[in-house]
Chain A
Amino acid sequence: MKGLSDYNGIAEPEDLRLLTRLGERLRGRSFLHVNSTSVGGGVAEILHRLIALFVDLGVAARWEVIKGDQSFFEVTKQIHNGLQGQAVEMSPRMWEIHREVNEANAGQMDLDADLVFIHDPQPAHLIGHRRRGVWVWRCHVDVSHPHPPVWERLAADVGRHAAAIFSGAQFAQQLAVPQFVVPPSIDPLSEKNRDLTDPEVQAELEAHQIPRDKPILLQVSRFDRFKDPVGVVQAYRMVKRYYDCRLILAGGTATDDPEGEGILARVREEAQNDPDIRILLLPPFSDRLINALQRAAAVVLQKSTREGFGLTVAEALWKAKPVVGGAVGGIPSQIHHGVTGFLVHSVEGAAYRIRQLLHNPALGKKMGEMGREHIRRNFLITRQAKDYLALWVALERRNERVISI
């Protein structure tokens, strides 16, 4: 695992200095993260790397995963959809399942730590089992317009934490506890983001029978309705009339997402066996392939209609690729329209911008270069680690606005 010194020459030096100072201040303290999956999805991915970085700094960081059966994850998927604005029906029994699974897990987990981050709604009810330490609810989803009955029920648990963290200011809620904004990040040294040589890229593509004879359009996302994979296929069809290209939809599967199969079937139906559309179902640990696909792509898409942050945008920008993304959630913080990519609001908008980029590769190259620098300054793991430790200090000195450490 990489240590802080491995980021010299990549991250901002001042971030590394501040992180070192914060580490000195918090050395030996315990920091627990609890979420609902150890593989799949951006949250799990970055947690692996953050834990290693905190340990390297001398903080006793560790991670617990809440365990549940199919019915639990169906319930939490409904909660997730409700938080993202869908008018889902949650019966009293469903909330009961949420509570029961949390209580069963609480009996089996070691929840003792100085600082505890509860990630997303799945483990939110564990707060009832807090014995000590500062507990913070960390929300990774787009809660800009939550379905009120779902949010109100969940907010009862959220409000029992010492603070809540959102990925963007637009997700903040009316809460009695302090709220913070901490955008997620990518690790430039991970297998998914490290530099690859062209032969390495070629080898990965050949291993998966992906030719490079035509420009590649790529969306890497779980098969989730809010990622709009069907809209991506529709945009591709509009582009295809003018530009001969391939579309690759590469989707990981998260163990806490039971809806994926249905969405995948819908995408296959829309693709109609087009030989230039490739649907890749990626098992966990396909990081090198994703890295190669992003490097081989001419245009990367993230046509989400709801999005907590959209880590795949940061990943593609880091590889200096132009990105066409939905103007939702955390995507506008990464795509500065016309500078690091294009923000779109419709299938037609996505098609138009893809055509523009395929027509003018020099524009895409310039945007990609700006995008890489934007990610380097703002969305690398060292910045997120710094934010988390800074937040810890801020929670311990909560009446101060300028805190000297």
Chain B
Amino acid sequence: MTKPDDRARRPFRFFECTGLIRPTGKHAQDLSELLSLIRIVDPGVIYHHTHQYFLKAAVEAPEYYNDFAVWAARSLEERALAEKLANLDLYAFSGIEKVRAALTEIVVSYLGENPAPRPARPGDAFYFNDAVTIVAESGFAAESLPAFLEALDRVGTSSVYFHFFEARFRLRRPADDFSIWIEGDLGRPDLARKIRGLDPYQYSLEGLRGRIRSLLRPDAAGGV
């Protein structure tokens, strides 16, 4: 067990990021077209529509943090399909191709068991986008758990997004950056396990930040 002011082997450097949307020019007007395109679009497109919803700074919490589920609910009015797509445990997949396979399976199965849904109304198609992420150092770093929490409060929410989702899926790290550092550099596998036990798709980024804070704060008492 470490003390609150124990130093990490290496500092944690917080990065912030911004996403640039790259439309592919492809769109689906109905569920069959959606399925065809899910099968062939670049992996980055699948990633964008299942994860970069978090970067939209919405003032209201979305019903689902997944563009496919939102479209199924709002534009096709296929609520059961939306629920299946939203309930996909994305964080359990080790890579984006496995996410693609799971999405495909859900839609194929739904089409097999239900009458074909009506097309979306004109102007309400699903537009497939890719995205580029630009990442920069935030200027905040931490060498202890209290300092980590203080910096976590000060960085933008894009930093939480980057270290949780981009790191895992786009940079192919085995887990989120926070828990990797806490386990490897701070020597606290118990805390790392708590963070890895989070269900990140149930939070806004601000909510995720708050939850991480509340998980770590009891162990950080004692000052920076």
* Other-chain residue from A328, A339, A370, A386 in contact with B18 (beta carbon distance below 8 A): A386
B210 within 8 A of A: no
Contact A14 B16 (CB under 8 A): yes
Q: Which A385-401 residues sit within 8 Å CB-CB of chain B?
A: 386-387, 390-391, 393-394, 400-401
Q: Which residues of A contact B159 (CB under 8 A)?
A: 14
Contact B166 A402 (CB under 8 A): yes
Known: A169-B127, A403-B132. 14 other contacts (CB 8 A): A14-B157, A15-B18, A17-B139, A18-B17, A22-B134, A22-B136, A179-B23, A378-B57, A390-B134, A394-B20, A400-B132, A401-B130, A401-B133, A401-B170
With contacts A17-B138, A18-B136, A179-B25 taken as known, whether A374 is within 8 angstroms of B59 at the C-beta atoms is yes
With contacts A339-B59, A340-B59, A377-B57 taken as known, whether A404 is within 8 angstroms of B21 at the C-beta atoms is no
Q: Which residues of A contact B137 (CB under 8 A)?
A: 21
* Other-chain residue from B24, B133, B138 in contact with A402 (beta carbon distance below 8 A): B133
Closest to B130 in A: A401
A244 within 8 A of B: no
Contact A21 B136 (CB under 8 A): yes
How many A-B pairs fall under 8 Å by CB? 108
B123 within 8 A of A: yes
Residues of A within 8 A of B (CB): 12-15, 17-18, 21-22, 144, 166, 169-170, 172-175, 178-182, 328, 336, 339-340, 370, 373-374, 377-378, 386-387, 390-391, 393-394, 400-405
Q: Which residues of B contact A340 (CB under 8 A)?
A: 59
Contact A173 B57 (CB under 8 A): no
Residues of B within 8 A of A (CB): 15-18, 20-25, 44, 56-60, 123, 125, 127, 129-139, 155-159, 166, 170-171
Contact A405 B135 (CB under 8 A): yes
B5, chain A: closest CB distance, angstroms = 27
Contact A373 B127 (CB under 8 A): no
Contact A402 B57 (CB under 8 A): no
With contacts A18-B16, A169-B127 taken as known, whether A339 is within 8 angstroms of B25 at the C-beta atoms is no
With contacts A14-B16, A14-B159, A377-B57 taken as known, whether A166 is within 8 angstroms of B136 at the C-beta atoms is no
Instruction: Tell me, in angstroms, the Cα distance from A180 to B48 when the chains sit together.
Output: 14
Please name the 3 residue pairs, one residue from A and one from B, whose CB atoms are nearest each other, closest first. A14-B156, A172-B23, A377-B57
Closest to B16 in A: A14
Some 13 contacts from A to B, beta carbons below 8 A apart, are A14-B156, A15-B18, A18-B136, A169-B21, A181-B22, A328-B123, A336-B58, A336-B59, A339-B59, A370-B59, A401-B133, A405-B135, A405-B136
